[in-house]
Structure 1
Amino acid sequence: MATLPTKDVAATAISPVLPPSPPIDDAQWGEKRKPLRRRVRELLWDSFDRSPAERRFIAKIDFFILTWAGFSYFSKNLNSNNLSNAYVSGMKEELNVVGNQYQTFTTMWTIGYVISQIPSQLVCTRVRLSLWCPSWELFWVIVTFASSAVKTPYQLYACRFLVGLAEGTFYPAVHTVLGGWYTKQELAKRACIFFASAFIGSMFSGYLQAALYTGMNGVHGLAGWRWLFVFDGVITLPMAVWGYYALPDLPSNTRVHWLKAEEKELALERMRKAGKHLEEPFTIHGLKRILKKWHFWVYTAYYTFFICSENIGTYMNLWLKSLDRYSVSQINTYPTVINAVTIVTTLCYGWVSDGLQVRAPIVYFSLGVCFFAACNLAVWDGVPFGLKWASFYLTGFAQGSGPVFLTMVNEHCAGDSLERKFILGTTNSVAYAFNAWIPLITYNTNYAPRFLVGNSVTVGLIVCAAATLTLAVWLQRRDG
């Protein structure tokens, strides 16, 4: 196993670097000033100006990784949205859902989602991702099929908990894989493409429910809402099986047959140039090392503030309903524009972030837009109708900066493989642990659509997020 020179004590204590390879052209890695034409080509798509061999390599990993990750995330978000669609399409009456039982469905999912992420990331330091992730995907499919057969709310409680447990292993693991294979010129785009696929599922859910309810309600004795879960399982099953073949683990331990030997060497060379290290298994000593650094505390704090501030746009339908001027179809359709805004801005963030090689400015921009929208909705009285409407849509600018921030985490923790995996898990897990109960207090539906407390708290959360991001940027620059 190759090691760093003895004079580099700090890096050696973390993990050995990837094996050295013959030098490559520095211009290929952006270390020389590039002509404008070449920079424009790279802004459009980063592999356009690479060597033919590297273009083929990038195209391969794009196809295999992003098809599995994107379609899987699409189906998971489709499933989450289908729960609410099923509730208003007959599930409430058929299962006799009363009181706060619907909220409990979401709570059970959140509990499973939160508790599985950190343990899963630690297991991934010792178990191959190509076995771990697709196996949980298959488990998710089984539980989703089971959700279509529940007879009581309590059975659905169990299903939602197990679905959350399986989903919790997915998101941080995908970012671990992306960070392992892509360079700084490529990573943000792929992270944003992956993230945007979830919101396509959100937009698609309502139309799917309408189609299934119309065409499948009563077929084989199943209500239309039950067919939603059957459909989720059917479209996800091929992706789960595909994952066993498509997921390439990491460059240091990949065994996939679709990469040639020279392409595996190229992957190692790319990661060596990016300063990334061989994988380190989880140990108590390694965990203590992580907790002594600022990365865990500051990155996790930022992401918690960020996630908890995202709830502001989810209540547009309650505002529209309170106006008594829109049909049920309009109330359900108009808020989906927020998802469209999120998809467009997410992809723009990824391209600009990689093209200009900036991370934090993208996140600051999204926070600024959301701060403006949150202030308008917090003031409420005296804010023109059109500005309120625009403010709800502007909240869609926020979420797409999440993968850009995680790209920043991926890059800054690249030199410590255990820390990188651990923090990718803790940021999401801790954030959703807080987000499970904060909206129940701040966005109590008894105060809809004004939500003075909720919108005001969101303004404060955005300010805290910006302050924490500033601290992170300062500490990163201090560390060099």
Structure 2
Amino acid sequence: MSHSIQKNGIQAEATTPDSSSLSPSSKKTSLRLRIREIVWDSLDRSPEERRLIFKLDIFILINSTWAGFTYFSKNLNSNNVSNAYVSGMKEDLHVVGNEYQTFTTMWTIGYVLSQIPSQIIITRIRPSIWCPTWELIWVLVTFATAAVKTPHHLYACRFFVGFAEGTFYPAVHTILGGWYTKRELAKRASIFFASAFVGSMFSGYLQAALYKGMNGTGGLEGWRWLFIFDGIITFPMALWGLFLHLKGKLDANFFLAYYALPDLPSNTRVRWLTQEEKQLARQRMIDAGKGQDEPFTWVGIRRVLWKWHFWVYTTYYTFFICSENIGLYMNLWLKSLKHYSVPQVNTYPTVINAITIVTTLSYGWTSDALQLRAPIVYFSLTVCLFAALNLAIWDGVPFGLKWASFYLTGFAQGSGPIFLTMVNEMCAGDTLERKFILGTTNSVAYAFNAWIPLLTYNTTKAPRFMLGNSVTVGLIVCAAVTLTVAVVLQRRDAKNESDSESTGGEDGVVRAWTPKTRV
């Protein structure tokens, strides 16, 4: 039977007999193992590695844990603004003109400003301290949102909510990339990302329920209760993350000790991993060709900026993020029709989030099973391009096709974690580059997304948005072109590395700055 050999992070097949010489029982066994690997990739590992991966999945990934549940609550909050707007906030705060777009812009400004500094700081401060601290700040600002009296109050709250959120998403992707190998990473990133859209979908149903059941309770409008509820369910998660660092002194209970970020294999202090498991985790990363952790230095940043990864990956992600706005305005379209109740306006668009959840998980499993990254992203861009074209044309497009096109935008966002998996893998040998680019892709993308919707999706043009939908078509095309550039450059680098190894030369691409991390 064939077996795999890991060398410099590239999977290579050992020499095996011709398949025709294999017995039927061998073929049957191989097929069974392949199916098990596709269902869940740890099922064919050694007992020790299965136990390690199981613990990582439970304590890092599953949505009841800190990272997944926290991401769920953050996207619940983001969608709360949209749902609150169509559920009475517009009238209560006297929102006029393009002020609704400004709410999103203020959040984006905060989000952009915090990401790159945060990614630099976590090379010096543990993510398990840094992220929960900002989570607590996020909770306090979310509570304050329920008390706003004017649009300007909401501007300030959205800025600080975005600033706190900016520390979270790239940090978690950094941690995922630090613990999981190429065979495992895409589906875990997709599961984590999908948890956000559970929050997005839940927000519509929650707003509908609060509008019916709590509007006027305690003298507060139903949309204000939406933010109060969000803060209540998130507050314990912030405390759980911080309590991990008191465990040794206070002997906190089981749950407080076990639900938090584990940092990275090189510096983790969690007690749910044995010393043997921590050493196995470090060895897995070495075998996968991942470099040693490196703190921020200006020399290191100059090294990162000299390579194409930063420029091309960041450009692609900017086009990608700015093209995602097209599906956010379905509730404004439904409200303009004046045929639907407030609960219906809030709940019908949640189907987009349900589609995103399904496609995200499908992308993750398919990507890891077939070891494909770019083709998955191309597929999502193609579906979203079809939807964007229909919404850009608008006049003459049947009502049902408009409805379907809004729903088809749910195919796009799930390819985001697949792309970030590609970044994690291509930059694996240089950990500083990996952390920095995971921050800059998000930060630069949302820097542009802070002002582009103000120009292209002016709320006064709802629900037609001819300019915005047309610009989105162009952004999707630009994203596809940039992704093609990245794929060509990746193949060129892989060929150069292969040629270098075949001639016995040094692996100059990575080894030049990570001499101690390759085996």
TM-score by length of 1: 0.90
Pick from 57, 66, 74: which aligns with 1:76? 74
Aligned partner of residue 413 in structure 2, secondary structure: coil
2:509 maps to which residue? none
Aligned partner of residue 62 in structure 1, secondary structure: helix
Contact conserved, 2:106 with 2:450, CA < 8 A, in 1? no
Pick from 233, 236, 239: which aligns with 1:238? 236
2:12 and 2:205 mapped to 1: Cα distance?
A: 45
Q: How far did residue 106 of structure 1 move? A: 2.1
1:420 and 1:39 mapped to 2: Cα distance?
A: 31
2:101 and 2:378 mapped to 1: Cα distance?
A: 33
Q: How far did residue 102 of structure 1 move? A: 3.4
2:436 maps to which residue? 422
1:225 maps to which residue? 223
Deviations 1:297-321 (A, max 9, x none): 0000000011111112222334444
Q: Are 1:454 and 2:468 matched, yes or no?
A: yes
1:325 and 1:89 mapped to 2: Cα distance?
A: 15
Structure 2 unaligned blocks of 5 or more: 17-28, 245-259, 495-519
Q: Are 1:39 and 2:34 matched, yes or no?
A: yes
For 1:115-154, list aligned pairs within 5 A.
115-154=113-152
What RMSD in Å do the two structures reach over aligned CA positions? 2.1
Aligned partner of residue 136 in structure 1, secondary structure: helix
Q: Structure 1 residues 314, 87: CA separation in 2 closer, same or farther (over 3 Å shift)?
A: closer
Q: How far did residue 413 of structure 1 move? A: 0.4
Q: Structure 1 residues 163, 360: CA separation in 2 closer, same or farther (over 3 Å shift)?
A: same
For 1:391-410, list aligned pairs within 5 A.
391-410=405-424
For 1:46-57, list aligned pairs within 5 A.
46-57=41-52
1:118 and 1:91 mapped to 2: Cα distance?
A: 33
2:278 and 2:284 mapped to 1: Cα distance?
A: 10
2:60 maps to which residue? 65
Q: Are 1:191 and 2:189 matched, yes or no?
A: yes
Deviations 1:408-458 (A, max 9, x none): 001100111111011001101111111111122222344443333222221
2:222 and 2:336 mapped to 1: Cα distance?
A: 28
Q: Structure 1 residues 31, 241: CA separation in 2 closer, same or farther (over 3 Å shift)?
A: farther
Letter aligned with residue 231 of structure 1: F
2:479 maps to which residue? 465
Q: Structure 1 residues 279, 350: CA separation in 2 closer, same or farther (over 3 Å shift)?
A: same
1:369 maps to which residue? 383
Q: Structure 1 residues 314, 225: CA separation in 2 closer, same or farther (over 3 Å shift)?
A: closer
Q: Structure 1 residues 374, 91: CA separation in 2 closer, same or farther (over 3 Å shift)?
A: closer
Q: How far did residue 202 of structure 1 move? A: 1.1
Contact conserved, 2:97 with 2:459, CA < 8 A, in 1? no
1:56 and 1:236 mapped to 2: Cα distance?
A: 30
1:304 maps to which residue? 318
1:212 maps to which residue? 210
Q: How far did residue 472 of structure 1 move? A: 0.4
1:413 and 1:55 mapped to 2: Cα distance?
A: 26
Q: Structure 1 residues 322, 355: CA separation in 2 closer, same or farther (over 3 Å shift)?
A: same
Q: Are 1:292 and 2:306 matched, yes or no?
A: yes
Aligned partner of residue 35 in structure 1, secondary structure: helix
1:160 and 1:328 mapped to 2: Cα distance?
A: 24
Pick from 260, 264, 270: which aligns with 2:284? 270
Q: Which moved more, 1:216-225 or 1:101-110?
A: 216-225
Q: How far did residue 387 of structure 1 move? A: 2.8
2:21 maps to which residue? none
Aligned partner of residue 295 in structure 2, secondary structure: coil
2:497 maps to which residue? none
Letter aligned with residue 169 of structure 2: Y
1:14 maps to which residue? none
1:218 and 1:325 mapped to 2: Cα distance?
A: 25
2:323 and 2:118 mapped to 1: Cα distance?
A: 26
Pick from 366, 370, 388: which aligns with 2:402? 388
TM-score by length of 2: 0.83
1:253 maps to which residue? 267
1:175 maps to which residue? 173
Q: How far did residue 338 of structure 1 move? A: 1.2
1:384 and 1:299 mapped to 2: Cα distance?
A: 37
Contact conserved, 2:453 with 2:468, CA < 8 A, in 1? yes
Contact conserved, 2:176 with 2:185, CA < 8 A, in 1? yes
Structure 1 unaligned blocks of 5 or more: 1-24
1:206 and 1:313 mapped to 2: Cα distance?
A: 15
Contact conserved, 2:320 with 2:479, CA < 8 A, in 1? yes
2:103 and 2:430 mapped to 1: Cα distance?
A: 38
Deviations 1:321-372 (A, max 9, x none): 4555544443333222111111100000000001111101100111111112
Q: How far did residue 191 of structure 1 move? A: 0.6
Q: How far did residue 382 of structure 1 move? A: 3.7
1:158 maps to which residue? 156
2:343 and 2:152 mapped to 1: Cα distance?
A: 31
Q: How far did residue 395 of structure 1 move? A: 1.3
Q: Are 1:378 and 2:392 matched, yes or no?
A: yes
Q: Structure 1 residues 382, 209: CA separation in 2 closer, same or farther (over 3 Å shift)?
A: closer
Deviations 1:10-65 (A, max 9, x none): xxxxxxxxxxxxxxx85797745892211111111111111222122111111111
Q: Are 1:108 and 2:120 matched, yes or no?
A: no
Aligned partner of residue 400 in structure 1, secondary structure: helix
For 1:316-331, list aligned pairs within 5 A.
316-323=330-337, 325-331=339-345
